[in-house]
Chains A and B, each alone.
Chain A
Amino acid sequence: GESVGLHLPTLSVQEGDNSIINCAYSNSASDYFIWYKQESGKGPQFIIDIRSNMDKRQGQRVTVLLNKTVKHLSLQIAATQPGDSAVYFCAECYNQGGKLIFGQGTELSVKP
């Protein structure tokens, strides 16, 4: 019979467009947030992090935005490339040394 499970959220973008991946976190006391990228057949790879005393942080082609009021985190990827195709996970923790709680993940697909 057909198995019932969670559907991984997906996002499909055209190469060259900007991508925005969203994440809702659960603990209002979380003060440290991380985005990971997991390509097919590989382990998750750290992309960028942000502490709760910031609302925006920029890296190379990536920007993370934090809205503590609504407990929302987003990852923006500029000029998305085929190599950006992967599953992206957000993670939260309290006091940086606490347990890291991962989100379900969003699958990003980049169309050439």
Chain B
Amino acid sequence: ETGVTQTPRHLVMGMTNKKSLKCEQHLGHNAMYWYKQSAKKPLELMFVYNFKEQTENNSVPSRFSPECPNSSHLFLHLHTLQPEDSALYLCASSQDRRNTGELFFGEGSRLTVL
């Protein structure tokens, strides 16, 4: 138990579907992150939120839309995805944006786009 919970753990969706990934952290952290992990590739940072404000968007396509209603919750809204978007999506948190090394990861949401 890392203190970061992601749901769903597995998701299969068609290219025209709309779905959302949810992340919740119970660590009292102020920064939250979305990472994409594709097979045999390094982790790719997608979005960063610090105190609910988005501080980084790494040129992520608009079909991925993050939402951070408070410091404990982070969502990734998905729509009109492509098969190449199939990957493990990892949420992480840290005390704040200055402590990017001390990341606590969730177990990920395995997404398959058909």
User: Beta-carbon contacts of A73-97 to B below 8 Å, as 1s and 0s?
Assistant: 0000000000000000101010011
CB-CB under 8 A for A6 and B41, given A46-B103, A91-B101, A99-B100: yes
Tell me if B42 and A49 are in contact (CB < 8 A). Answer: no
**Complex contacts, B97 vs chain A, CB 8 Å:** 97
Question: Is B45 located at the chain interface by the 8 A CB criterion?
Answer: yes
- How distant is the Cα of A23 from the Cα of B107 in the complex, in angstroms? 24
B43 near A44: Cβ-Cβ < 8 Å: yes
Which of chain A's residues have a CB closer than 8 A to the CB of B105?
Answer: 43-45
**In the complex the two chains form, what is the Cα distance from A84 to B43 in whole Å?**
20
B41 touches A34 (CB 8 A): no
Give the residue name and chain of the A residue nearest to B58 (CB).
Answer: A99
A105 to B38, CA, bound (A): 12
* Set of chain A residues within 8 Å of B42, measured between Cβ atoms: 89, 101-105
The residues of A that contact B104 with a CB separation of less than 8 Å are: 46
- Contact A89:B101 (CB < 8 A) given known A43-B107, A43-B108: no
Residue interface bits B51-74, CB-to-A below 8 A is 1, else 0: 000001000000000000000000
Judge whether B90 is part of the interface by a CB distance below 8 angstroms. Answer: yes
CB-nearest residue of chain A to B6: A43
Partner of A43, one of B4, B41, B98, B102: B4
- Decide: A89 and B43 in contact? CB cutoff 8 A: yes
Q: B75-101 toward A: CB 8 Å interface, digit per residue (1/0)?
A: 000000000000000101000011111
Q: Which A residues touch B101, using CB under 8 A? A: 32, 34, 46, 49, 91, 93, 96, 100
- In the complex, what residues of B have CB within 8 A of residue A102's CB? 42-43
Which residues of chain B are within 8 angstroms of A61 by Cβ–Cβ distance?
Answer: none
Instruction: Given A6-B40, A105-B42, check contact A97 B108 (CB 8 Å).
Output: no
11 pairs, A vs B, C-beta closer than 8 Å: A6-B40, A32-B101, A42-B107, A44-B43, A46-B102, A96-B101, A99-B56, A100-B45, A100-B100, A102-B43, A104-B40
List residues of A whose CB falls within 8 A of some B CB: 5-8, 32, 34, 41-46, 49, 89, 91, 93, 96-105
